[in-house]
Amino acid sequence: MFGFQNLALAQDTSNRTWLAGDHHIHSRYSVGWNTEVEPPAPIKGGDAIYPTPMNALMAKHYGLSWMVTTDHGGPNHSKVNLEMAYPELLFSRKVVPEVIQFYGMEFDTPGADHSSLIIPHTHDESTHLHSIESQFNKREPFPSNASWDTEPRMLEALQFMNNMATKPVIIANHPSRSASGLGIYGKDAPAELRDWNDTAPDIAVGMAGAPGHQAAAINPDSTIRERARGGYGNFPTMGGFDQMTAKLGGFWDSMLGEGRRWWITANSDSHVNWREGGSDFWPGEYSKTYVFAQKNHDDIMDGIRNGRVFVTLGDLITELYVIVTEDGQTAEIGDSIGISRGEDVVVTIRFKDPDTLNSWKQNPEVTRIDLIMGEVYGPIKNRNHDNNLTTKVIARFEESDWVMHNGYKELTYKISKLDKASYIRIRGTNSNELEPKEDDIGENPWNELWFYSNPIFIDLEN
């Protein structure tokens, strides 16, 4: 069995640690529009209200090591990003150097909803974003042009990005916010997300498992109002997560069953904080996307692109190590391991459940961890396929199943005689729900917390 002494040595060698961040943050350059003039003129602070340095300071306050500024577009908004938002980002990097800050935008995605577009950190990052937004953001032209809002145009945009010297990352935001029911999808259909991933697998790498706007039900005085979490007014979130992630054996598992490296994240979608009447938490106040990386732009981007990620709500945990071991080989979150058919593997889980108060002045405790496993059966013909009937919880662990060691909670589990290519993933909660239920209107988001890991793939070599 792979010991944690060896794990610590591996961490020292790579200098990688778990770094919390947020890839979906709006600034005052998510503008309103004066439609009494042509073309419409941007109104700074018309939608989101905070300067980028304020977002960075609050991200630092709530424990984030990295963030992405992601203003959404509109008529000729590429000029707003280039001439106004980008200079403010450069200033923010100087005044809050403790937070690694990426340039990006919330892409008004052709033929779909919104996506976080994360631009690699280069000397010409501003022109890279401008070239994408000015040519492909569906709200860019004035007058509006319906031909910009089609799925083929999104695939054209991805092909354009794929030819760039430094490739960006695209993450589908709130993918089921427009769904009308469970499995009745809206703007982001399973077939579309498969097409994105097929066209640019190193760019279209995943989706927001937990959306932003999770403070929608909280009044400025901390009382609760009758509003839906995340703006999911038709079909709700489930334990704070989008149905595409939260449904066991659902869409996410169907993607993993094809062997796709399709990862999940979480974000704040911060526009206006709940204390000022908005629907949002500050970056890092409620949800965090942890990336196992060195603290620099390149390795954080590499971690997102390659799934070295877990997500958590409410600071339920702050570190998570999942290790699959077989005959001296190991694989961790986002990795794959090859084994011989019929061999056993050992899964080791190590997590830190901090003995500290979160921003709601609570100290939540993990009450259960689920080990989830599904088969990898390869490509399927039905592009809108959204289930993996082989996926199930193969083991549930409670406090009596783990031990404390050097401030971490640890447990191991053997999976015997594997005869099919598979993947595993982990989730945990402070609740008693065996499966995340549909969130009620007006539910306090702090009462039920979950965390999810990205998968580890187990390949059969013969």
Burial class (CB in 10 A: 0-12, 13-18, 19+), 356: exposed
Domain that holds residue 343: 4-460
Q: What is the pLDDT of residues 248-268, one digit of tens each?
A: 999 999 999 999 999 999 999
CB atoms within 10 A of CB 131: 15
**Does the pLDDT of residue 1 top 80, yes or no?**
no
Percentage of residues of the chain with pLDDT beyond 70: 97
Residue 15 has pLDDT above 80, yes or no: yes
Q: How large is the average pLDDT for residues 434-462?
A: 96
Q: Is the pLDDT of residue 9 over 80?
A: no
Number of H helices, E strands in the chain: 10, 22
Q: Can you read off the two tokens belonging to residue 331?
A: 């694989």
Residue 6: band (very low, low, confident or very high) from pLDDT cuts 50, 70, 90: very low
Amino acid at 330: T
Closest CA to 77 of 125, 140, 145: 140
Residue pointed to by tokens 């790498």: 205
Residue 433: which CATH number? 3.20.20.140
Residue 336 confidence class, pLDDT cut points 50, 70, 90: very high
Burial of 184 (0-12, 13-18, 19+ CB in 10 A): exposed
The pLDDT of 125-140, averaged and rounded, is 98
Q: Are 220 and 156 in contact (CB under 8 A)?
A: no
The identity of residue 425, as a single letter, is R
Going by pLDDT thresholds of 50, 70 and 90, the confidence category of residue 461 is confident
Q: Report cis status (omega within 30 of 0) of the bond before 39.
A: yes
Could you give the 3-state DSSP secondary structure of residue 297? Answer: helix
Largest CA distance in the chain: 70
Q: How confident is the model at residue 215 (pLDDT cuts 50, 70, 90)?
A: very high
What pLDDT is attached to residue 67? 99
C-alpha distance from residue 3 to each of 89, 330, 412 (Å)? 43, 11, 11
Distance CA 27, CA 25 (A): 7
Both structure tokens of 388: 């993996």
**pLDDT band with cut points at 50, 70 and 90 for residue 345:** very high
Mean pLDDT of the chain: 96
- What average pLDDT does this structure show over 329-339? 97
How many CA atoms lie less than 13 Å away from 113 in the CB half-sphere? 20
Q: Considering only CA atoms, which of 62, 370, 70, 379 is closest in space to residue 208?
A: 70
The full DSSP string for 28-63 is TTS-EEETTSSSPEEETTSS----HHHHHHHHHHTT
* pLDDT band for position 208 (cuts 50, 70, 90): very high
Instruction: Work out whether the CA dihedral 153, 154, 155, 157 comes out positive or negative.
Output: positive
What are the Cα distances from residue 311, in Å, to 56, 217, 265?
20, 22, 6
Number of domains in the chain: 1
Cis peptide before 445 (omega within 30 of 0): no
